[in-house]
Amino acid sequence: MNNFNFYNTTQIVFGKGQTKQLDKLVPKNAKILITYGGGSVYTNGVMDKVKAELVKSDRKIFEFGGIEPNPRFETLMKAVAICRDKKIDFLLAVGGGSVMDGTKFIAVAAVADEYIGKEEELLKFGFAGTPIENPLPLATVATLPATGSEMNSGAVITNGEDKLPFFNSKNFPRFSILDPEFTYTLPPKQVANGVIDTFVHTVEQYVTYPVDARFQDRTSEGILQTLFEIGAKTVNEPADYDARANLVWCSTMALNGLIGSGVPQDWSVHMIGHELTALYGLDHAQSLAIVLPAMWRFRQVEKSEKLIQFAERVLGITEGSDDYKINKAINMTETFFNELGAKTKLIDYGITETDVEKIIKALEKHGMTALSERGDVTLDISEQVLRMAL
């Protein structure tokens, strides 16, 4: 097992009716900005439940709506202006990954006095993290199980055609309320997206190469088995509480640092996927469903030991040659995505051979030239993977 430094400060409050805890969890005299997206939290009643608790104490409550999927810098800057103007001291994100991520940027930019007027520069720090010591405290009421943003310190922010990782080690939500019932109103496509994003987060930290990290491997395998078990059910039967609760908890656990501690991590599928979203508007998980099968087919030799482990332990493929196990596991994964309703080829979105060069140029611009657990996915390999995904 590799050395690691596991740090996570988010309190998780999970289950039906847990918004009732909000009055206890949010400081009594807070000047709070509630952030949300395009309005789903108003139509499904989540916002009413949130506010009903917050008004129980003497808080000043402000709102900022309109954070779009793949949150944009210029939108978030409008919320930053409100924070400065109203002297907001607590942020509550009510929504999916985009709202939670956007709120993490707001938390940093609102206090980054040395960056006033040049906040775009905060997007240049990438995975290294912004050097802002005390971002505004934030918390979340999560409504879409997918990104893990409710229990990590990361975000992804879009600026023009750039979709950029945004980190700050102090940006862990203080708490996150995870009520699976709040996710019942998600359209089937978004639930499928959540299953696929959670799946790909898990395998980016598991299907690499072995380092004898047994707890991490078996926890990842537990998440993947759960997703195979409940994936289709929770897409087709949205109000089945237990299936949905299992998805919600798997999503959170897949990207809160636990399964990634002490193991090699890949993330090449995500980095290529981000370019597809930025250039062609695919949903985050739609992009992953295309890139993952092609990446595995192309790199099956480098990933052979863990692909065989995945085939045997997660999918129960114990007969046949190693090649047979690997290919069957990849095919079963692609079929799983298809059965959830996701497409797995670029052409399904009208992206053709002539687009490949543009995607590769974007990867180059963003420094994504040595991806994967071994840093061996060069631009040339990314190009071949994209061609395989056509």
- Contact residues: ligand NZQ, CB under 6 A: 37-41, 44, 69-70, 95-99, 101, 143-144, 146-149, 152, 154-156, 182-183, 185-186, 190, 193, 197, 255, 270, 284
**Residues contacting 212, CB < 8 A, separation 6+:** 1
Q: Report the residue number, 175 or 317, with the smaller CB distance to ligand NZQ.
A: 175
Taking the complex as a whole, the smallest distance from the CB of residue 56 to Zn ion amounts, in Å, to 36
Interface of this chain with Zn ion, residues 38 to 67, rule: CB under 5 A: none
**Residues contacting 64, CB < 8 A, separation 6+:** 33, 34, 35, 36, 78, 79, 82
Q: Report the residue number, 237 or 322, with the smaller CB distance to ligand NZQ.
A: 237
Q: Of Zn ion, ligand NZQ, none, which one sits near residue 101, judging by CB under 5 to 8 A according to partner kind?
A: ligand NZQ
Q: Report the residue number, 123 or 311, with the smaller CB distance to ligand NZQ.
A: 123
Widest distance between CA atoms in the chain: 67
Q: What is the sign, positive or negative, of the torsion defined by CA atoms of 166, 74, 31, 26?
A: negative
Taking the complex as a whole, the smallest distance from the CB of residue 331 to ligand NZQ amounts, in Å, to 24
Instruction: Fill in the amino acid letter for 21.
Output: Q
Q: Report the residue number, 10 or 44, with the smaller CB distance to Zn ion.
A: 10
User: How many chain residues bind Zn ion (CB under 5 A)?
Assistant: 1
DSSP symbol at 282: -
Q: Report the residue number, 71 or 293, with the smaller CB distance to ligand NZQ.
A: 71
- Hey, which residues does 167 pair with through a beta bridge? 154
Q: Report the residue number, 208 or 327, with the smaller CB distance to ligand NZQ.
A: 208
Q: Of ligand NZQ, Zn ion, none, which one sits near residue 64, judging by CB under 5 to 8 A according to partner kind?
A: none
Find out whether 244 and 250 touch, Cβ atoms under 8 Å: no
Alpha helix segments (H runs only) across the chain: 22-25, 40-43, 46-54, 73-86, 97-109, 188-204, 214-236, 241-254, 268-280, 284-298, 304-309, 322-340, 353-365, 379-388
Q: Report the residue number, 102 or 317, with the smaller CB distance to ligand NZQ.
A: 102
Q: Of Zn ion, ligand NZQ, none, which one sits near residue 155, judging by CB under 5 to 8 A according to partner kind?
A: ligand NZQ
Binder of Zn ion out of 101, 150, 179, 197 (CB under 5 A): 197
Taking the complex as a whole, the smallest distance from the CB of residue 273 to ligand NZQ amounts, in Å, to 8
Q: Report the residue number, 219 or 277, with the smaller CB distance to ligand NZQ.
A: 277
Q: How far is CA 305 from CA 86, 370, 374, in A?
A: 55, 21, 14
Q: Report the residue number, 33 or 326, with the smaller CB distance to ligand NZQ.
A: 33
Taking the complex as a whole, the smallest distance from the CB of residue 311 to ligand NZQ amounts, in Å, to 24
Q: What is the sign, positive or negative, of the torsion defined by CA atoms of 111, 114, 120, 122?
A: negative
Q: Of Zn ion, ligand NZQ, none, which one sits near residue 143, judging by CB under 5 to 8 A according to partner kind?
A: ligand NZQ
Q: Of Zn ion, ligand NZQ, none, which one sits near residue 183, judging by CB under 5 to 8 A according to partner kind?
A: ligand NZQ
- Residue 117 phi/psi, 5° resolution? 85, -15
Helix (H, G, I), strand (E, B) or coil at 333: helix
Count of alpha carbons within 13 angstroms of residue 206, beta-carbon side: 28
The span from the CA of 6 to the CA of 217, in Å, is: 16
Taking the complex as a whole, the smallest distance from the CB of residue 214 to Zn ion amounts, in Å, to 25
Q: Of ligand NZQ, Zn ion, none, which one sits near residue 146, judging by CB under 5 to 8 A according to partner kind?
A: ligand NZQ
Find out whether 37 and 69 touch, Cβ atoms under 8 Å: yes
**Residues contacting 230, CB < 8 A, separation 6+:** 243, 246, 247
Taking the complex as a whole, the smallest distance from the CB of residue 67 to ligand NZQ amounts, in Å, to 7
Count of residues in the chain: 390
Q: Of Zn ion, ligand NZQ, none, which one sits near residue 164, judging by CB under 5 to 8 A according to partner kind?
A: none
Asked if 221 interacts with Zn ion (CB under 5 A), we say no
Q: Of ligand NZQ, Zn ion, none, which one sits near residue 225, judging by CB under 5 to 8 A according to partner kind?
A: none
Instruction: Please report, as ranges, the residues that interact with Zn ion according to CB under 5 A.
Output: 197
